[in-house]
Structure 1
Amino acid sequence: MRPAAWLRVAAVLTLIHAVLHTVGGVYGAQDPGPQTVAATAMKANTFVVFGNVRSFWTFYRGMGLVVTVLLTLEAVVFWLLGGLAKTEGVRLRPVVLVFAVGYVALAVVSWGHFFLGPVITELLIAACLGVAAPGLAGQRVSKSAAELLTR
């Protein structure tokens, strides 16, 4: 497959990751017992933060939604990079490699703090980006408008 296709696969996987994170993580129900007790305690205990009354639950839910927004933005960026891969591959390669390393780091964090589902998804995204990156090095760089006008 071409680098653009790998970037598009990474985009779809990242969007799936965002949706499942939101449905299962942010808005998922707690099982009865210890999970419900912990969630209730997080909701019940409020404190003032920079003049606003918040709870740990508010921070938990808010950070979950922040992750959803960031994953969705990354999915869009990967899709757009796929469209640019043919003409701007050489310039995109470092960006794609940074995201690949970042997704490996996310997988390590997920392994230590969450469960296998996100780890597998993040490693698949990293693999797609890692496979796309070497192919980007061979893509031609488009000429800028200034270069074209000076001929």
Structure 2
Amino acid sequence: MKASTFLRIASAIAFLFAIGHTMGVPWTPATDAPESALLASMKSLHFPVMGTDRSYWDFYVGFGVSISVYLFTQAIVLWQMASLARSDAKRVRPLIVTFFVSYLAMGAITLRYFFVVPIVLTVAMCICLALACLSAWRRDAGM
């Protein structure tokens, strides 16, 4: 398969990642008393940050929403890279490698802190990006 095909698949995986992450709002399924107490504490404890009053909950939600935005952005950029790879795979290859290295790091983080679905999506993304890079290299080498 061509690099552009693998990048389109990677884009779809990133889109699934973004949808799944966003659907997880508020990212904390509090069901019992200790969890509810922790969330209440996160929401009630306010402190000044650079002249603004914030809580730990504000940061928690803000970072969660930011991650969703970045994941949707990745899906769009990967789709755009697929279009570029059709005409100039050699120039897209460094971008593919950058995403690949990023997802390798995410894989280590995901293995340590998260659960099976993001682990599977991260592994699938690494495979697609590795194959896209290999395909772009082969195309450039005339293989």
How does the TM-score come out when normalised to structure 2? 0.91
2:132 maps to 1:116:
no
8 Å Cα contact 1:87-1:139 kept in structure 2: no
* CA distance in 2: counterparts of 1:93 and 1:37, whole angstroms: 49
Matches within 5 A, 1:49-68: 49-68=49-68
Query: 3-state DSSP class of the match of 1:59?
Result: helix
8 Å Cα contact 1:11-1:79 kept in structure 2: yes
Query: 3-state DSSP class of the match of 1:31?
Result: coil
Q: Which amino acid aligns with 2:21?
A: H
2:131 maps to 1:131:
yes
Q: Size of the alignment, in residue pairs?
A: 140
* CA distance in 1: counterparts of 2:27 and 2:108, whole angstroms: 24
Matches within 5 A, 1:62-81: 62-81=62-81
* CA distance in 1: counterparts of 2:121 and 2:25, whole angstroms: 15
- Give the structure 2 partner of residue 18 of structure 1: 18
- Give the structure 1 partner of residue 48 of structure 2: 48
* CA distance in 2: counterparts of 1:119 and 1:35, whole angstroms: 24
* CA distance in 2: counterparts of 1:117 and 1:34, whole angstroms: 26
Q: Which amino acid aligns with 1:40?
A: A
Gapped regions of structure 2 (runs ≥ 5): none
Structure showing greater relative contact order (alpha-carbon pairs closer than 8 Å, 6 or more residues apart): 2
How does the TM-score come out when normalised to structure 1? 0.86
- Give the structure 2 partner of residue 144 of structure 1: none
* CA distance in 1: counterparts of 2:80 and 2:98, whole angstroms: 16
Structure 1's 101 and 87: CA in aligned 2 closer, same or farther, altered over 3 A? Answer: same
- Give the structure 2 partner of residue 90 of structure 1: 90
1:27 CA drift (Å)? 5.5
1:28 CA drift (Å)? 5.7
Q: Give the root-mean-square deviation of aligned CA atoms.
A: 1.5
* CA distance in 2: counterparts of 1:26 and 1:85, whole angstroms: 37
Identity %: 29
Gapped regions of structure 1 (runs ≥ 5): 141-151
Query: 3-state DSSP class of the match of 1:53?
Result: strand
